Structure 1
Amino acid sequence: MSNVTLVDVFKHRITQKYLQRSGINHAVTVACYAYDLSLEEEVDPDLATKSALLHDMGHYEWYRDGKWDYEEYRRHDIHAIKGAERAHKLLIRLGESRTTAKEVSLAVLLHTDSYLPFELKGKRTALQEVVRKADEKDEQPQGLHHYKEMDKSEALKILHQLDLAVAKAKKMP
Protein backbone atom coordinates (compact mmCIF):
# COMPACT_ATOMS: atom_id res chain seq x y z
CA MET A 1 0.00 0.00 0.00
CA SER A 2 1.22 3.45 -0.90
CA ASN A 3 2.03 5.97 1.75
CA VAL A 4 1.90 8.85 -0.76
CA THR A 5 -1.45 10.51 -0.15
CA LEU A 6 -3.60 12.77 -2.28
CA VAL A 7 -2.75 15.58 0.12
CA ASP A 8 0.97 14.92 -0.47
CA VAL A 9 0.40 15.02 -4.21
CA PHE A 10 -1.72 18.16 -4.04
CA LYS A 11 0.73 20.10 -1.85
CA HIS A 12 3.72 19.52 -4.16
CA ARG A 13 4.84 22.66 -6.01
CA ILE A 14 4.61 20.93 -9.39
CA THR A 15 0.99 19.95 -8.78
CA GLN A 16 0.19 23.45 -7.60
CA LYS A 17 1.73 24.96 -10.72
CA TYR A 18 -0.20 22.80 -13.17
CA LEU A 19 -3.52 22.59 -11.33
CA GLN A 20 -3.69 26.39 -11.51
CA ARG A 21 -4.01 25.95 -15.29
CA SER A 22 -6.49 23.08 -15.36
CA GLY A 23 -8.50 24.10 -12.32
CA ILE A 24 -8.29 22.89 -8.73
CA ASN A 25 -12.07 22.51 -8.50
CA HIS A 26 -12.17 20.26 -11.56
CA ALA A 27 -9.26 18.09 -10.38
CA VAL A 28 -10.69 17.58 -6.88
CA THR A 29 -14.23 16.99 -8.15
CA VAL A 30 -13.02 14.39 -10.66
CA ALA A 31 -11.01 12.66 -7.92
CA CYS A 32 -14.21 12.40 -5.84
CA TYR A 33 -16.15 10.99 -8.78
CA ALA A 34 -13.32 8.54 -9.47
CA TYR A 35 -13.44 7.28 -5.89
CA ASP A 36 -17.15 6.48 -6.17
CA LEU A 37 -16.73 4.89 -9.60
CA SER A 38 -13.73 2.86 -8.43
CA LEU A 39 -15.85 1.22 -5.74
CA GLU A 40 -18.61 0.45 -8.25
CA GLU A 41 -16.17 -0.96 -10.82
CA GLU A 42 -13.90 -2.72 -8.27
CA VAL A 43 -10.86 -0.66 -9.27
CA ASP A 44 -8.12 0.30 -6.83
CA PRO A 45 -9.39 3.58 -5.30
CA ASP A 46 -5.83 4.78 -4.61
CA LEU A 47 -4.91 4.52 -8.29
CA ALA A 48 -8.24 5.95 -9.42
CA THR A 49 -8.16 9.03 -7.19
CA LYS A 50 -4.51 9.86 -7.91
CA SER A 51 -5.06 9.43 -11.65
CA ALA A 52 -8.16 11.61 -11.53
CA LEU A 53 -6.51 14.34 -9.46
CA LEU A 54 -3.65 14.55 -11.96
CA HIS A 55 -5.56 13.82 -15.18
CA ASP A 56 -5.38 17.38 -16.56
CA MET A 57 -1.97 18.50 -15.32
CA GLY A 58 -0.81 18.68 -18.93
CA HIS A 59 -3.19 21.52 -19.78
CA TYR A 60 -1.95 24.77 -21.11
CA GLU A 61 -3.74 27.97 -21.96
CA TRP A 62 -4.35 28.98 -25.57
CA TYR A 63 -5.13 32.63 -26.16
CA ARG A 64 -5.70 34.54 -29.39
CA ASP A 65 -5.96 38.31 -29.36
CA GLY A 66 -6.03 38.24 -25.54
CA LYS A 67 -9.03 35.90 -25.35
CA TRP A 68 -9.28 32.18 -24.55
CA ASP A 69 -9.66 30.35 -27.86
CA TYR A 70 -11.23 26.98 -27.09
CA GLU A 71 -11.36 25.81 -30.71
CA GLU A 72 -7.68 26.60 -31.30
CA TYR A 73 -6.82 24.84 -28.04
CA ARG A 74 -8.75 21.71 -29.11
CA ARG A 75 -7.03 21.73 -32.50
CA HIS A 76 -3.56 21.63 -30.91
CA ASP A 77 -4.36 19.74 -27.70
CA ILE A 78 -1.76 17.29 -26.35
CA HIS A 79 -2.54 17.77 -22.66
CA ALA A 80 -2.88 14.04 -21.94
CA ILE A 81 0.63 13.37 -23.27
CA LYS A 82 2.20 16.19 -21.25
CA GLY A 83 0.13 15.28 -18.20
CA ALA A 84 1.17 11.63 -18.26
CA GLU A 85 4.83 12.62 -18.28
CA ARG A 86 4.39 15.16 -15.49
CA ALA A 87 2.32 12.79 -13.34
CA HIS A 88 4.91 10.01 -13.61
CA LYS A 89 7.82 12.29 -12.73
CA LEU A 90 5.91 13.84 -9.82
CA LEU A 91 4.89 10.52 -8.29
CA ILE A 92 8.42 9.11 -8.52
CA ARG A 93 9.76 12.27 -6.82
CA LEU A 94 7.23 11.79 -4.02
CA GLY A 95 8.43 8.20 -3.47
CA GLU A 96 5.55 6.39 -5.14
CA SER A 97 6.29 2.91 -6.49
CA ARG A 98 7.26 2.68 -10.15
CA THR A 99 4.30 0.38 -10.78
CA THR A 100 1.81 2.86 -9.33
CA ALA A 101 3.45 5.78 -11.12
CA LYS A 102 3.17 3.91 -14.42
CA GLU A 103 -0.49 2.93 -13.90
CA VAL A 104 -1.43 6.49 -12.97
CA SER A 105 0.54 7.89 -15.89
CA LEU A 106 -1.21 5.57 -18.34
CA ALA A 107 -4.61 6.50 -16.90
CA VAL A 108 -3.75 10.19 -17.36
CA LEU A 109 -2.57 9.50 -20.92
CA LEU A 110 -5.71 7.60 -21.88
CA HIS A 111 -8.41 9.55 -20.00
CA THR A 112 -9.33 11.15 -23.34
CA ASP A 113 -8.82 10.35 -26.98
CA SER A 114 -9.37 13.94 -28.12
CA TYR A 115 -5.73 14.24 -29.20
CA LEU A 116 -5.65 10.92 -31.09
CA PRO A 117 -6.58 10.21 -34.72
CA PHE A 118 -8.66 7.21 -33.52
CA GLU A 119 -11.03 6.30 -30.67
CA LEU A 120 -10.07 4.26 -27.61
CA LYS A 121 -13.57 2.89 -27.02
CA GLY A 122 -13.29 -0.67 -25.74
CA LYS A 123 -9.50 -0.48 -25.41
CA ARG A 124 -9.08 1.13 -21.98
CA THR A 125 -8.42 -0.78 -18.78
CA ALA A 126 -11.00 -0.56 -15.99
CA LEU A 127 -8.86 2.09 -14.22
CA GLN A 128 -8.52 4.18 -17.38
CA GLU A 129 -12.26 3.94 -17.98
CA VAL A 130 -13.03 5.07 -14.41
CA VAL A 131 -10.88 8.18 -14.91
CA ARG A 132 -12.49 8.88 -18.30
CA LYS A 133 -16.00 8.59 -16.83
CA ALA A 134 -15.13 10.71 -13.78
CA ASP A 135 -13.74 13.46 -16.02
CA GLU A 136 -16.78 13.32 -18.28
CA LYS A 137 -19.13 13.73 -15.30
CA ASP A 138 -17.65 17.16 -14.53
CA GLU A 139 -17.29 18.48 -18.08
CA GLN A 140 -19.01 21.66 -19.20
CA PRO A 141 -19.28 23.17 -22.69
CA GLN A 142 -16.30 25.13 -23.98
CA GLY A 143 -14.09 23.86 -21.15
CA LEU A 144 -15.81 26.01 -18.51
CA HIS A 145 -15.28 23.28 -15.88
CA HIS A 146 -11.63 24.34 -15.78
CA TYR A 147 -12.61 27.79 -14.50
CA LYS A 148 -14.78 26.86 -11.51
CA GLU A 149 -13.18 28.17 -8.33
CA MET A 150 -12.15 26.27 -5.21
CA ASP A 151 -10.03 27.58 -2.38
CA LYS A 152 -6.87 25.55 -1.72
CA SER A 153 -7.84 25.05 1.92
CA GLU A 154 -11.21 23.60 0.84
CA ALA A 155 -9.42 21.33 -1.64
CA LEU A 156 -7.11 20.09 1.12
CA LYS A 157 -10.06 19.29 3.39
CA ILE A 158 -11.80 17.31 0.65
CA LEU A 159 -8.61 15.47 -0.31
CA HIS A 160 -7.87 14.60 3.32
CA GLN A 161 -11.34 13.06 3.64
CA LEU A 162 -10.79 11.23 0.36
CA ASP A 163 -7.44 9.90 1.65
CA LEU A 164 -9.24 8.53 4.72
CA ALA A 165 -11.92 6.93 2.55
CA VAL A 166 -9.29 5.35 0.25
CA ALA A 167 -7.40 3.95 3.24
CA LYS A 168 -10.61 2.51 4.68
CA ALA A 169 -11.67 1.00 1.34
CA LYS A 170 -8.27 -0.62 0.85
CA LYS A 171 -8.55 -2.33 4.28
CA MET A 172 -11.94 -3.85 3.42
CA PRO A 173 -11.90 -7.42 2.09
Structure 2
Amino acid sequence: MRKVTLEMLYTHPIVQKYVGRSGIAHAISVAERAFEIARHTSVNPDLAAKAGLLHDIGHYKWYSTNGEWDFDKYKQYDIHAIKGSARAHKLLVRCGEDLENAKAIALAILLHTDSYLPKGELELSPLQQVVTEADEADEEPNGAHHYRTINYQTGLDRIRALDERIDKLPLKDLEQTS
Protein backbone atom coordinates (compact mmCIF):
# COMPACT_ATOMS: atom_id res chain seq x y z
CA MET A 1 0.00 0.00 0.00
CA ARG A 2 1.22 3.48 -0.86
CA LYS A 3 2.15 5.73 2.06
CA VAL A 4 1.69 8.94 0.07
CA THR A 5 -1.12 9.43 -2.43
CA LEU A 6 -1.49 12.02 -5.14
CA GLU A 7 -4.44 13.45 -3.23
CA MET A 8 -2.22 13.97 -0.16
CA LEU A 9 0.20 15.88 -2.34
CA TYR A 10 -2.40 17.83 -4.31
CA THR A 11 -4.16 19.07 -1.18
CA HIS A 12 -0.95 19.95 0.65
CA PRO A 13 -0.51 23.74 1.11
CA ILE A 14 3.06 23.59 -0.27
CA VAL A 15 1.82 22.03 -3.52
CA GLN A 16 -1.09 24.41 -3.80
CA LYS A 17 1.25 27.37 -3.33
CA TYR A 18 4.21 26.41 -5.50
CA VAL A 19 2.66 24.17 -8.12
CA GLY A 20 -0.28 26.54 -8.17
CA ARG A 21 1.86 29.43 -9.29
CA SER A 22 3.39 27.38 -12.11
CA GLY A 23 0.12 25.85 -13.30
CA ILE A 24 -1.89 23.14 -11.55
CA ALA A 25 -3.71 22.24 -14.78
CA HIS A 26 -0.36 21.56 -16.48
CA ALA A 27 0.91 19.58 -13.47
CA ILE A 28 -2.17 17.34 -13.44
CA SER A 29 -1.92 16.76 -17.18
CA VAL A 30 1.74 15.81 -16.86
CA ALA A 31 0.92 13.45 -13.97
CA GLU A 32 -1.75 11.75 -16.08
CA ARG A 33 0.52 11.50 -19.12
CA ALA A 34 3.42 10.18 -17.03
CA PHE A 35 1.11 7.52 -15.55
CA GLU A 36 0.04 6.39 -19.03
CA ILE A 37 3.58 6.31 -20.40
CA ALA A 38 4.83 4.42 -17.33
CA ARG A 39 2.10 1.79 -17.67
CA HIS A 40 3.59 0.80 -21.02
CA THR A 41 7.17 0.66 -19.79
CA SER A 42 8.98 -0.85 -16.83
CA VAL A 43 8.53 2.33 -14.78
CA ASN A 44 6.49 2.51 -11.57
CA PRO A 45 3.31 4.46 -12.52
CA ASP A 46 2.90 5.81 -8.98
CA LEU A 47 6.37 7.36 -8.97
CA ALA A 48 5.87 8.69 -12.50
CA ALA A 49 2.55 10.34 -11.58
CA LYS A 50 4.01 11.90 -8.42
CA ALA A 51 7.03 13.24 -10.31
CA GLY A 52 4.72 14.53 -13.03
CA LEU A 53 2.52 16.33 -10.52
CA LEU A 54 5.49 17.91 -8.75
CA HIS A 55 7.83 18.51 -11.69
CA ASP A 56 7.38 22.31 -11.70
CA ILE A 57 7.19 22.85 -7.94
CA GLY A 58 10.35 24.98 -8.13
CA HIS A 59 9.13 27.40 -10.79
CA TYR A 60 9.64 31.10 -10.54
CA LYS A 61 7.73 33.34 -12.95
CA TRP A 62 10.10 35.50 -14.92
CA TYR A 63 8.39 38.79 -15.68
CA SER A 64 9.53 41.71 -17.77
CA THR A 65 9.02 45.32 -16.72
CA ASN A 66 5.55 45.39 -18.36
CA GLY A 67 4.34 42.43 -16.32
CA GLU A 68 4.41 39.91 -19.18
CA TRP A 69 6.19 36.55 -18.99
CA ASP A 70 9.75 37.04 -20.24
CA PHE A 71 10.34 33.70 -21.94
CA ASP A 72 13.85 34.65 -23.10
CA LYS A 73 14.92 35.58 -19.56
CA TYR A 74 13.38 32.35 -18.29
CA LYS A 75 15.32 30.28 -20.85
CA GLN A 76 18.55 32.06 -19.91
CA TYR A 77 18.34 32.10 -16.11
CA ASP A 78 15.88 29.42 -15.00
CA ILE A 79 16.89 26.79 -12.43
CA HIS A 80 13.39 25.68 -11.39
CA ALA A 81 14.28 22.00 -11.67
CA ILE A 82 17.05 22.37 -9.09
CA LYS A 83 14.85 24.23 -6.62
CA GLY A 84 11.90 21.96 -7.36
CA SER A 85 13.88 18.78 -6.82
CA ALA A 86 14.91 19.88 -3.34
CA ARG A 87 11.46 21.20 -2.45
CA ALA A 88 9.72 18.02 -3.66
CA HIS A 89 12.18 15.77 -1.84
CA LYS A 90 11.63 17.58 1.45
CA LEU A 91 7.84 17.48 1.00
CA LEU A 92 7.79 13.78 0.09
CA VAL A 93 9.97 12.80 3.05
CA ARG A 94 7.85 14.85 5.45
CA CYS A 95 4.69 13.23 4.07
CA GLY A 96 6.15 9.76 4.70
CA GLU A 97 7.22 8.66 1.23
CA ASP A 98 9.68 5.80 1.08
CA LEU A 99 13.14 7.40 1.03
CA GLU A 100 14.31 5.55 -2.07
CA ASN A 101 11.16 6.59 -3.91
CA ALA A 102 11.47 10.19 -2.71
CA LYS A 103 14.99 10.32 -4.11
CA ALA A 104 13.94 8.78 -7.45
CA ILE A 105 11.09 11.29 -7.78
CA ALA A 106 13.37 14.21 -6.85
CA LEU A 107 15.95 13.14 -9.44
CA ALA A 108 13.23 12.87 -12.09
CA ILE A 109 12.20 16.43 -11.26
CA LEU A 110 15.82 17.60 -11.32
CA LEU A 111 16.36 16.16 -14.79
CA HIS A 112 12.95 16.73 -16.45
CA THR A 113 14.37 19.68 -18.35
CA ASP A 114 17.79 20.52 -19.68
CA SER A 115 17.16 24.29 -19.82
CA TYR A 116 19.71 24.96 -17.08
CA LEU A 117 22.28 22.30 -18.00
CA PRO A 118 25.41 22.89 -20.04
CA LYS A 119 25.24 21.54 -23.59
CA GLY A 120 25.98 17.85 -23.87
CA GLU A 121 24.43 14.46 -23.54
CA LEU A 122 22.91 13.20 -20.34
CA GLU A 123 21.77 9.63 -19.83
CA LEU A 124 18.39 9.62 -18.12
CA SER A 125 16.90 6.78 -16.10
CA PRO A 126 13.60 5.35 -17.38
CA LEU A 127 11.60 7.34 -14.76
CA GLN A 128 13.41 10.54 -15.72
CA GLN A 129 12.67 9.85 -19.39
CA VAL A 130 8.97 9.29 -18.66
CA VAL A 131 8.62 12.61 -16.81
CA THR A 132 10.54 14.49 -19.49
CA GLU A 133 8.39 12.98 -22.24
CA ALA A 134 5.15 13.70 -20.37
CA ASP A 135 6.17 17.31 -19.74
CA GLU A 136 7.24 17.90 -23.33
CA ALA A 137 3.99 16.40 -24.64
CA ASP A 138 1.99 18.94 -22.63
CA GLU A 139 4.07 22.02 -23.44
CA GLU A 140 2.67 24.95 -25.39
CA PRO A 141 4.63 27.73 -27.15
CA ASN A 142 6.12 30.46 -24.95
CA GLY A 143 5.18 28.73 -21.71
CA ALA A 144 1.41 29.05 -22.28
CA HIS A 145 0.83 25.67 -20.61
CA HIS A 146 1.66 27.36 -17.28
CA TYR A 147 -1.35 29.65 -17.71
CA ARG A 148 -4.05 27.04 -18.25
CA THR A 149 -6.47 27.08 -15.37
CA ILE A 150 -8.52 24.47 -13.54
CA ASN A 151 -10.72 24.89 -10.51
CA TYR A 152 -9.69 23.17 -7.32
CA GLN A 153 -12.52 20.60 -7.27
CA THR A 154 -12.04 19.56 -10.89
CA GLY A 155 -8.34 19.11 -10.21
CA LEU A 156 -9.06 17.12 -7.08
CA ASP A 157 -11.49 14.89 -8.98
CA ARG A 158 -8.85 14.16 -11.63
CA ILE A 159 -6.22 13.45 -8.96
CA ARG A 160 -8.59 11.10 -7.12
CA ALA A 161 -9.36 9.27 -10.36
CA LEU A 162 -5.64 8.87 -11.00
CA ASP A 163 -5.10 7.58 -7.44
CA GLU A 164 -7.87 5.01 -8.03
CA ARG A 165 -6.17 3.85 -11.24
CA ILE A 166 -2.86 3.48 -9.41
CA ASP A 167 -4.51 1.59 -6.56
CA LYS A 168 -5.96 -0.93 -9.04
CA LEU A 169 -2.56 -1.78 -10.52
CA PRO A 170 -0.93 -5.12 -9.71
CA LEU A 171 1.50 -4.87 -6.79
CA LYS A 172 4.41 -5.87 -9.04
CA ASP A 173 3.91 -2.66 -11.07
CA LEU A 174 4.26 -0.57 -7.91
CA GLU A 175 7.37 -2.39 -6.71
CA GLN A 176 9.44 -1.04 -9.59
CA THR A 177 11.44 2.01 -8.63
CA SER A 178 12.79 3.85 -11.60
Normalization by structure 2: what TM-score?
0.92
Q: Which residue of 1 aligns with 2:30?
A: 30
Quick check: 1:117 aligned with 2:127? no
Which is worse superposed, 162-171 or 126-135?
162-171
Once residues 169 and 44 of structure 2 are traced to their aligned partners in structure 1, the CA distance between those partners, rounded to angstroms, is 9
Once residues 90 and 97 of structure 1 are traced to their aligned partners in structure 2, the CA distance between those partners, rounded to angstroms, is 12
CA positional deviation for 1:73: 1.2
Once residues 112 and 134 of structure 2 are traced to their aligned partners in structure 1, the CA distance between those partners, rounded to angstroms, is 9
Quick check: 1:140 aligned with 2:140? yes
Quick check: 1:64 aligned with 2:64? yes
Which is worse superposed, 61-70 or 99-108?
61-70
Matched ranges for 1:12-51 at <5 A? 12-51=12-51
Once residues 18 and 39 of structure 1 are traced to their aligned partners in structure 2, the CA distance between those partners, rounded to angstroms, is 28
Structure 1 outlier segments of 4+, above 6 Å = none
Give the number of equivalent residue pairs. Answer: 172
**Amino acid of the structure 1 residue aligned with 2:63:** Y
Which is worse superposed, 161-170 or 142-151?
161-170
Q: Which residue of 1 aligns with 2:155?
A: 155
Query: What is the SS of the residue equivalent to 2:168?
Result: helix
Deviation track 1:100-146 (CA, whole Å, cap 9, x = no partner) reads 1101000000111111002445x001110000000011000100000
Once residues 132 and 18 of structure 1 are traced to their aligned partners in structure 2, the CA distance between those partners, rounded to angstroms, is 19
Deviation track 1:60-100 (CA, whole Å, cap 9, x = no partner) reads 01112122211111110100000000000000111111111
**Amino acid of the structure 2 residue aligned with 1:114:** S
Q: Is the 8 A contact 1:113 1:119 kept in 2?
A: no
**Amino acid of the structure 1 residue aligned with 2:40:** E
Q: Is the 8 A contact 2:35 2:49 kept in 1?
A: yes
Assess, with a 3 A threshold, how the Cα gap between structure 1 residues 170 and 108 changes in structure 2: closer, same or farther.
farther
Q: Which residue of 2 aligns with 1:7?
A: 7
